Amino acid sequence: SGARAATRRLTEEPLGATDDWGCDPALVRNIMLLAQLRWDVSTGGDQHLPKRAGALIVVNSPRFSASPLFAAFAISEAIDRPVRFVGRSDTDVRGSFSRRIGGLLNHPDELAGALRAQQVVVMAAGSAAGMRRVGTVDHTLIGAALATGTRVFPAAATSTPFARHARLEIGSSTRP
């Protein structure tokens, strides 16, 4: 059903089309299908997210985890909307590929632009030692969300580098 939802939503764009941030919906659809082979993500709390407005979701990022990426794909499937992630590089081939699958630069202006356009964006907190700790959060990115009037949602991801199952739980929005 997730593949069906991804295909239905993302194929409405003409083939080869990209949006203002360089995201290619056809490539995203294919990557989501591959991601479903890698991760089996159960998502909770997606009912907290707005149906049409923008949102910033801050997720923990344990070491050796791709939690922002699998969180973006899992949330996209759960809410039937494209979801972007923050943290792509602007200098290498991986950065170009990340842009094509919805990655945004780790810069407040780019995040603010996406949030003003009513995009849902996932951002990772810094990694921390230990499974029960959350690293630092870039206050300039949170500030960009608050400046645009966008709600910020905390999320917790659990996964291991070698297991297929992952869990993502989204909390209620924080107060400004």
Q: What is the pLDDT of residue 11?
A: 45
Query: What are the residues whose beta carbons fall under 8 Å from the beta carbon of 149, sequence distance 6 or more?
Result: none
Strand partners, 103: 85
Question: How many Å apart are CA 162 and CA 5, to the nearest integer?
Answer: 27
* pTM reported for the whole predicted model: 0.82
Q: Is residue 14 scored above 70 in pLDDT?
A: no
Question: How many Å apart are CA 96 and CA 105, to the nearest integer?
Answer: 11
SS3 18: coil
What's the residue count for the chain? Answer: 176
Q: 16-49 pLDDT, tens per residue?
A: 677 777 888 888 888 888 888 887 888 999 999 9
Strand partners, 158: 167
Token pair for residue 45?
């709390």
